Structure 1
Amino acid sequence: MTLLQEKVPRQKLVRILIVDDCPESTEELSGDLSGYGFRVESVNSWLPALDLSDSVDVILLDVSLPGVDGFELCRAIRSQSQVPVIIVSSRGDEFERVLGLRMGADDYVLKPYAPRELVARIQAVARRASGHQERSTGRRHMLELCGVRIDMTRRAVAVEGREVSLTRKEFDLLSLLVSESGEVVSRDRIMTRVWGHDGAGDLRTLGVHVCNLRKKLGKPGLIETVRGVGLRLCVRQPVSGSAR
């Protein structure tokens, strides 16, 4: 049995984001991790990494990115998310390893690396993050409606049992609508709660996010636009909640 045939225990599907601008390196790493049973996404620049930081379980970050210092990107991710970050880089003198950890990285792996060791490190940081999250909440808060299951603790969404990858803003928008149980949420309140300002000039941004949510959920009628007012969930059954 080869290393890539040794599947990790799949008690929970771990979602990994690779941030690296080298296509060859990204392709090789993605193939290795997919072979171990992880779900893998990749981006090569700052903004997509920030946008996806709350929709994955572990980020693998190369610090040598075009036009940006990867250490600063690590600090920016940490300022808005507690997602575990592992720096995977060929730059590994003592100063850079210490700098990466001070910027908020949970681990630092030097290239070239042994695939099995990297997998073990990913599992370790994901396990610690999961344990911390469960201790902090004491339970997992779940909501389910119309076949859409929302794990508020993990910030994860599944439709008819299939996990759907949402961006941070998409999840925040959906969770806000769910919390109102079918009541209309005004556009101003949405912009304030999700984007942090009244957003008078950003209604196009809201429209794009609503459109993306409808497509990803596969339920176009679930999010209803109340013209001139705002949005609401078109709920034909009560929202159910549970704690696990």
Structure 2
Amino acid sequence: MPLEAPKRLPPLANIKTNPPDLIAIQAAFLGVIFGVSLTLLFQVTFYPFPLYLLALSVFHFMEFWITAKYNPAKVSADSFLINHSGSYLMAHSAAITECLIELYLVPGWKTNHPYICLMGGVLMVGGQTLRSLAMKTAGESFSHIIVTTHDSHHHKLITDGVYQISRHPSYTGYFWWCIGSQLVLGNPVCFVGFSVVLWRFFSDRIAYEEDYLIRFFGDKYLQYKKTKTTWIPLIR
């Protein structure tokens, strides 16, 4: 009987970049936020605020879990993206601050737009789903950091799954998730601010990343680019 070739084992997580104590602390922190938010969701009048915190905790948990599940070679304690950047923390701090100030000053206006909140919730669920599916579909080819050197074994051009809908579904999902979060909170100032900053960020990032994708995959990527849009406004 001929022997079967051994199956290639999936890459293992690097313990040096995955200190168990840091992972446990961040996971516990997100679990507390999730639990408290879920409880408050049914106990407070202004439910959009705990809903926002609940969605935020789910987002950060999913970033780590999907990376650990489908891209273990690249997972690290930073994959939660909680400490993403100072600008990221400032943005969400500004969103929370605006929400609480407006809730205090104009509570009636803040609570009288359920359909806007519902629209935001739909965008957040859709955005989260799209981003998570993009990370799962890309698998080892996905990276939170733009890849500037080509590894043919672990970096493939992904064009199936949700990549048939958008050529940058993880970016598209996150863009609309963030926009939806500000609709949920009813934050007019941060809605405009998030929209402008996110659009500029992804416009620059996509242009930079696609320069490398063209170098790596040549005409194959150019043909793919011609047939797929991003679904981020004004970023073809």
Q: What TM-score results when the alignment is normalised by the length of structure 1?
A: 0.27
Higher helix share: 2
Q: What TM-score results when the alignment is normalised by the length of structure 2?
A: 0.28
Q: Give the number of the structure with larger relative contact order, counting CA–CA contacts within 8 Å between residues 6 or more apart.
A: 2
Higher strand share: 1
